[in-house]
Structure 1
Amino acid sequence: MAFFTMKHVKKTFIQGDVEEEILKGVHLSLKKGELTALVGASGSGKSTLLTIAAGLQPASGGEILMDGKSLHRMDQEEIRKIRAEKFGFVFQAAHLVPFLTVEEQLKLMLDVSESTLTKEAQRKEIARVLQLVEMEHRRNAYPASLSGGEKQRVAIARAIIHKPAILFADEPTASLDSTKSKAVLTLIRELTDTLNIATLMVTHDEAMLPFADRIIRMSDGRILQEEKTEHKETS
């Protein structure tokens, strides 16, 4: 059952006298335990759609509902709180803080999400999540010593440490080679299943699509096609 829905969502950018409509009345729903892939050519509107869904920029029109509540009717503080508590983010670059260890990166996310866990409970939760992404052995390492694939694993751990309802991933494997890309997507696929979260992923790589439950193809600010996949690629 969909718990996150976008209805008639539009986005228009205005520069001087020029008005450009990026999204043209898009409908989208997300379900827990489902990985949805957004694909399309550059400029199709897929990344704009993801950032609007994630509350990183406002829509020009339409409505976004989460658990039946309209994000459009919320003030900036309420939206910030939802982003911090309910959403997780993974981008093309890991964006790790260079002077924090792997463990400290996750601790910072718990602080941002205003976790009520005790220090001991936080330590155990960080260890558990690092085990999930197979990075516990690097918990004291700094970003400069990590490979590209390891940085993305830490970024994923940071994105899920506060138990979000939705994981937003914007080209999470674009900077990785094919072997590391498959490993990262396998991890995202497994976490979507085991943690029962909804994942919305933007990708240009057709080889990554077998990992998705649903594929949405966009063009010129509209959804052209939506299809279910027949299997999940996890090996």
Structure 2
Amino acid sequence: MTIFAAKEVRKTFTNGEVAEEILKGIDLSLHESEITALVGASGSGKSTLLTIAAGLQPTSDGQIVFNGQNMTDMTSEQIRQIRASEFGFVFQAAHLVPFLTVEEQLLLMLDVAGTKLSKKQQKKEVAELLEQVGMDHRKDAYPASLSGGEKQRVAIARAIIHKPKMLFADEPTASLDSKRSKDVMSLIRDLTKTLRITTLMVTHDEEMLSYADHVIAMKDGLVELLPTKKEGTC
């Protein structure tokens, strides 16, 4: 099932009298329960496409369609509501709130998403997800006492606690060593499948591409579908 589509998306930035077209007519479809990885050299347009897809900046032309809705026709408030309730975000740094415990990080996200669950139900949802990501034993810990891998696990849990339809991951393993990177990507893959999330990920790490269902290469503002090699295959 197609959840997201970019249709002839273009983005031009102007510096003084000089205009540079970063995206040159992108067509892209993303599907439920799949991970799509964006790769390419710096300046190829990966981050620009990711932020446009997430509603963080507008297109210059073309359409962004999410769950059958044309986001390019929406007001900024409508887009903000979609980001809060339907999108989840994971970045290179975990960006955890330093004075909140692990449990409190997730409860805050539920509030931001406008949950209608009771406090008791919220705590139950948080406890179940923390167990799923292997962090239930650290629910009362503060970020300063967590390892890099633990922080990313909490960041992933926070990103999906409100059950978003889409997860945007920008270099989610860039700050981790090889083992922790694989652990985090295994977690993202498992959650994408079990919760039927649509994941769009930017990465420079070729080892992480084996966890993706599709790999899209970006070059000179255009995209190309690359063959994939699944994790664990030769």
Q: In 1, distance between residues paired with 2:9 and 2:134?
A: 38
Amino acid at match of 1:195: L
The one-letter code matched in structure 2 to 1:115 is T
CA distance in 2, matches of 1:189, 1:167: 11
The corresponding residue for 2:26 is 26
> Partner residue of 1:40?
40
How many residues are aligned here? 233
Q: What corresponds to 1:176 in structure 2?
A: 176
**1:111-150 maps to which residues of 2 (within 5 A)?**
111-150=111-150
SS in 2 for 1:216: strand
Secondary structure at 2:63 match in 1: strand
1:129-165 superposed Cα distances (whole Å, 9 cap, x missing partner): 1011100111111111111111100000000000000
**Structure 2 partner of 1:85:** 85
CA contact (8 A) 2:33 2:197 kept: yes
- 1:230 deviates by 5.4
What secondary structure does 1:174 align onto? coil
Question: For residues 161-204 of structure 1, what are the alpha-carbon distances to aligned partners after superposition, in whole Å with 9 as ceiling and x for unaligned?
Answer: 00000000000000111111010000000001110110000001
In structure 2, the gaps of 5 or more residues are none
- Normalising by structure 2, what TM-score? 0.97
Structure 1 residues without counterparts, runs of 5 or longer: none
Q: Distance in 1 between matches of 2:176 and 2:122?
A: 30
Determine whether 1:53 maps to 2:57.
no
1:40 maps to amino acid: G
Which residue identity lines up with residue 165 of structure 2 in the other structure?
Answer: A
Q: Secondary structure at the match of 2:131?
A: helix
Q: Secondary structure at the match of 1:77?
A: helix
Amino acid in the other structure paired with 2:186: T
The aligned counterpart of 1:204 is: 204
How many percent of aligned residue pairs carry the same amino acid?
66
Paired AA for residue 229 in structure 1: T
- CA deviations over 1:205-226 (Å, ceiling 9, x no partner): 1111110010101111111x21
Q: Any residues of structure 2 matched to 1:59-70 within 5 Å, and which?
A: 59-70=59-70
- For 1:233 and 1:163, how far apart are their aligned partners in 2? 28
1:102-117 map, 5 Å: 102-117=102-117
> Which residue is 1:231 aligned to?
230
Inter-partner Cα distance in structure 2 for 1:56 and 1:8: 18
TM-superposed CA distance for 1:228, in Å, is 4.9
Q: Secondary structure at the match of 2:98?
A: coil
Aligned to 2:8, the other structure's residue is in SS state strand
Q: Distance in 2 between matches of 1:170 and 1:75?
A: 25
User: Aligned partners of 2:15, 2:99: CA distance in 1, in Å?
Assistant: 38
- What is the Cα deviation at residue 67 of structure 1? 2.2
Q: How far apart, CA to CA, are the structure 2 residues paired with 1:170 and 1:52?
A: 13
* Partner residue in 2 for 1:155: 155
Spell out, residue by residue over 1:13-58, the C-alpha distance to the aligned partner (whole angstroms, 9 max, x if none).
1121121111111011110000101000111101110110001111
**Which amino acid letter does the alignment assign opposite residue 228 of structure 2?**
T
**Structure-2 separation of matches of 1:3 and 1:147:** 34
